[in-house]
A and B are shown apart, each in its own frame.
Chain A
Amino acid sequence: MVSPETENMRFDLRVIASRIEPGARVLDLGCGNGDLLAWLVENKQVVATGIEQDKDKAAFCISRGISVLQGDLNEEVDDYPDFNFDYVILSQTLQQVYEPARLLYSLSRIGRRFIVSFPNFSHYSIRLQLLFKGMAPKSEQLPYNWYDSPNIRVITLKDFRKFSSDVGYRIVEEIAVKTDYRSKGGGVVRLLSNLRATYGIFIIEKRPNP
């Protein structure tokens, strides 16, 4: 359940926060100003670590008392021992990663579970834009032009399910959400999620080797 104190957080982060058990060891990749981790420390007493590329944001996190490493997330994940964390969170970043398969493998190595969220590229509004306008689609979740977009990976919920099954990741839970940018609000989509969800959140566990 999403507890009321989380109201100031982005909806997808609230959903993620609600899935973390108290006292867990959590790594947040691309933790920004550390809002999610700060909330988890405060309310769930987690052992929090963040990785953030931006120097000012990393410094801000550290000065608010969160352990954060300033650096490139692809490199930083390599140094941790196996299963060093209970949860590794990669929120709204996967679509910007150059080698997503490699990164996801690292997450599965260092975390007992990992949580990935990304904008769903098969949302009906995107499909309609492509169909009727014949141009690279834009949306509130993906507001960029083709030439300046940091989002270099086009991912849909269905694609991610297939990828997970291909490489042997077990999807513990899939939460499709519909968000409202203005209010930070949102809701869970249960029906026709690949068409109606703006974001997908996947909680993944690596299948034990046979």
Chain B
Amino acid sequence: MNRKVQADPDPGSAGLVEKQFYTFAHPPQQMVLESGARLGPITIAYETWGRLSEKRNNAVLVTHAFSGDSHAAGFYGGEPADAKPGWWDSMIGPGKGLDTSKYFVICANILGSCMGTTGPSSINPETGKPYGLGFPMMTIGDIIETQKVLLDYLGIDSLHTVIGGSIGGMQVLEWCVRYPEMVRSAIPVATTMRHSALAIAFNEVARQAIMGDPHWELGNYYDKTPPALGLAVARMIGHVTYLSDEAMRRKFGRQLQDKSHFSFGFDADFQVESYLRYQGSKFVKRFDANSVLYITKAADYFDLAQREAPARSLQDIRGAATKYLVVSYTSDWLYPTYQAKELVQSLKRANLDVSFCEIEADCGHDAFLIPDQRLGRLVGGFLDGVARN
């Protein structure tokens, strides 16, 4: 233990990883969702790194953000040499913040998504066609229940930590109120207890962009032309909220794209226009428009501050043993630090053990995804402390 020389330099890659699937809730034993609707069968796509200890006490659950997937780190076999690693590769791997030589790290694609887990683009067994809007409205709580079933299947009944950013952070908090005895520590990053009007407004504009696309056809587009333009616009709006004024000034300013003069037309003159168009068209290739509708709505509904029984709230877990580390970023204007502070305040009032740190960064909400040793060091040290307790 405590070999200082090995602790810091040259953390390695998480290596090769495989996407796995687990299917449950076969009819007639469908899962009952928070809305009362029944859903099944449900398939969950997940990936794991590291090894589960004999005592089964070193599991770490990573919860992904809105458009994320189970591929949080490492590479798939047979990928081209220039393939990008998973979306949180800077955090997951031997010697990194979530050290895979110590922890068994799990990341599962969320319910309602389209990256392997059941969502609106999955086949409805009753009709033999994709669900579309026939997919029941789901909540962050429903996502947690599907993850719980997966952990049961993997034989894991305690988590060293649950960690995630953005909507992933909401899942972290939902885990804490639903299964406090399972969660030894929790790290909600760049997140909120509930969406502000501003956050809901941006989501609504994104949804309207999709639903206003003539190709959307009430969500029934799977065997036709998809609402690509609406989805691209939704992504463009999303990207603006993930960046910051500072980051956009630094990255683009008013620079023109491949030209020295205005075109005096509606081409992408400015670099920022070209960037957003590129992000939009890239997203269309990998994501489903209906999934955007469902997941953004679930995020808008999420509210940890005001809940009525039987939904579990922070009051139900007063004094629970879970250790919290709340992290925010200075330039995040989607979930600004004041919202992280509200969360910290509520945790303190519920007599829970909480640490808080705001990290200085000018990249906006996306800062938590950008490789930065500070988050890794903070999380790694915090988790060591949890292990000592």
Contacts and interface: CB of A to CB of B under 8 A. Distances in A.
B351 A64 contact: no
Interface stretch (A3-11, A76-84, A135-143): A76-84
A203 interface: no
A83 B345 CA distance: 16
| Interface range for A | 10 to 19
B160 interface: no
Interface string B353-378: 11111111000000000000010011
A183 to B, nearest CB: 28
Contacts of A62: 325, 355, 357, 378, 381-382, 385
Most-contacted residue by chain A among B323, B341, B355 (CB, 10 A): B355
A116 B377 CA distance: 33
B380 A63 contact: yes
A66 interface: yes
Contacts of A94: none
A187 interface: no
Contacts of A74: none
B354 A70 contact: no
A29 interface: no
Contacts of B354: 67, 69
A84 B348 CA distance: 10
Given A64-B385, A65-B388, A71-B341, A80 B357 contact: no
Given A71-B341, A80-B348, A84-B351, A65 B357 contact: no
Nearest to A68: B355
A67 B349 contact: no
Interface string A78-92: 011100100000000
A155 interface: no
B344 interface: yes
A82 to B, nearest CB: 12
Contacts of B82: none
B152 interface: no
Contacts of B358: 55, 70
Given A55-B358, A58-B357, A59-B357, A69 B377 contact: no
Given A59-B374, A59-B377, A71 B382 contact: no
Interface string A148-166: 0000000000000000000
Contacts of A80: 348-349
B10 interface: no
Contact of B357 (A49, A70, A79, A81): A70
A69 B360 contact: no
B223 interface: no
B384 interface: yes
A79 B342 CA distance: 10
A67 B359 contact: no
Most-contacted residue by chain B among A63, A64, A67 (CB, 10 A): A63
B11 to A, nearest CB: 15
A67 B357 contact: no
A34 to B, nearest CB: 11
Nearest to B347: A79
A64 B353 contact: no
Most-contacted residue by chain B among A69, A71, A84 (CB, 10 A): A69
Nearest to B383: A65
A67 B378 CA distance: 12
Contacts of B325: 62
Contacts of A81: 349, 351
Given A62-B355, A79-B345, A55 B360 contact: yes
B8 to A, nearest CB: 12
A80 B353 CA distance: 12
B35 to A, nearest CB: 34
A159 B356 CA distance: 36
Nearest to A67: B355
Given A68-B355, A70-B356, A71-B341, A63 B348 contact: no
A59 B348 contact: no
A65 B356 contact: no
Given A55-B358, A55-B360, A67 B381 contact: no
A49 B325 CA distance: 13
Contacts of B351: 81, 84
Given A63-B380, A64-B385, A69 B344 contact: yes
Nearest to A84: B351
Nearest to B350: A81
A70 B327 CA distance: 10
B360 A65 contact: no
B207 to A, nearest CB: 36
Q: Which 5 A-B pairs have the closest CB atoms?
A: A65-B385, A63-B381, A79-B348, A69-B356, A79-B345
30 contacts: A55-B358, A55-B359, A55-B360, A58-B356, A58-B357, A59-B359, A62-B325, A62-B357, A62-B378, A62-B382, A62-B385, A63-B377, A63-B380, A63-B382, A65-B382, A65-B384, A65-B385, A66-B385, A67-B353, A67-B355, A68-B355, A68-B357, A69-B344, A69-B354, A69-B355, A70-B356, A70-B357, A70-B358, A80-B348, A81-B351
Interface of A: 49, 55, 58-59, 62-71, 79-81, 84
